[in-house]
Amino acid sequence: MEAISGAQIAGEIKARLRNDNAGQGLMPCLAVILVGSQEDSAMYVRLKEKATLDVGGRFCLETLPEAVSGPALLGLIERLNRDDTVDGIILQLPLPEHLEPQREIFLKAIDPLKDVDGFHQENRGGLLGGEPAFTSCAALACLEVIERYAQPLRDKRVLLVGESFDLIMPLALLLMKARCRVTVLPEPPGELLDNCDIAVIEKGGAGIIKSLGQDGPGLVLDAGFYVTQQGLQGNADRERLSRYSGRLLPVPGGMGPILIAKLMENVTLAARRRAACRNS
């Protein structure tokens, strides 16, 4: 399978946003709350900071100690909600162990109109009955790839493997609205992918998908991330799948850059809405 460059797609999206923002005199402001000092989380925050600056925006990092209390975190969220200079707010996940059971409370505390991750219950539920203020960036990243490489979408057979609230659930709804025939499995069906046109694999294990059937997908999106002795790997065995025709969004270098670019789209959208309200 031919590898799709996530970096190239992300670069195109960010270049468009940078030009549009410059033309409109817009500087979208993203505020990220980082609790604790977990290195993986800090790395993701740095990537978001770089992307924000790349599109001509402003970045605000709010750091809290790992032992911070729930009320203190809620207080910071409320302050950012009231800050008219902040367009989008992200609570970097995962949270420290003592705060994780209250995760939904913290996500719900973020103003839905500043919830650029699309994690607020109001935005997640909005996909069912209307138009949410924001949709999950992970789902939007996959949809971006699918719309680029699998047109027309109507009646395409799509297999989604996983059960996450930030990718599989919203993507299933988006694809059903596009009139796709969607199947969702909580775990992969085995080493073989068959009987679908498009597959998005979030769960399974490093390199578990090794072959495609005669009626297998022409487009595979790998959304799994595993640190192995060979480095970062996804669910797809890239070497084994290379002998098949079609396209693969690989790990690394696939979904990650696009996800952050779609976050920049959401932040820019938030800034445009707030500017329109101020000017009305």
Q: Considering the entire predicted model, what is its pTM?
A: 0.94
Residue 277's pLDDT is 85
The arrangement of strands across the sheet holding 88-91 comes to 58-64, 29-35, 88-91
Six token digits for residue 241: 């799948």
Question: Do residues 258 and 6 lie in contact, with contact meaning Cβ atoms separated by under 8 Å?
Answer: yes
pLDDT of residue 262: 98
Q: What's the pLDDT at 183?
A: 97
User: In the prediction, which pLDDT does 206 show?
Assistant: 95
The pLDDT of residue 129 is: 76
- Helix, strand or coil, per DSSP, at residue 170: helix
Q: Cis before residue 152, ω within 30 degrees of 0? A: yes
DSSP-derived 3-state class of residue 125 = helix
pLDDT along the chain (280 residues), means of 10: 97 98 97 95 96 98 97 98 97 96 97 96 86 94 98 97 96 96 95 97 96 96 92 94 96 96 98 87
Widest CA span of the chain, in angstroms?
57
The beta-strand segments (E) located in the chain are: 2-3, 29-35, 58-64, 88-91, 157-161, 181-185, 192-193, 198-201, 211-212, 219-222, 226-228, 231-233, 247-249
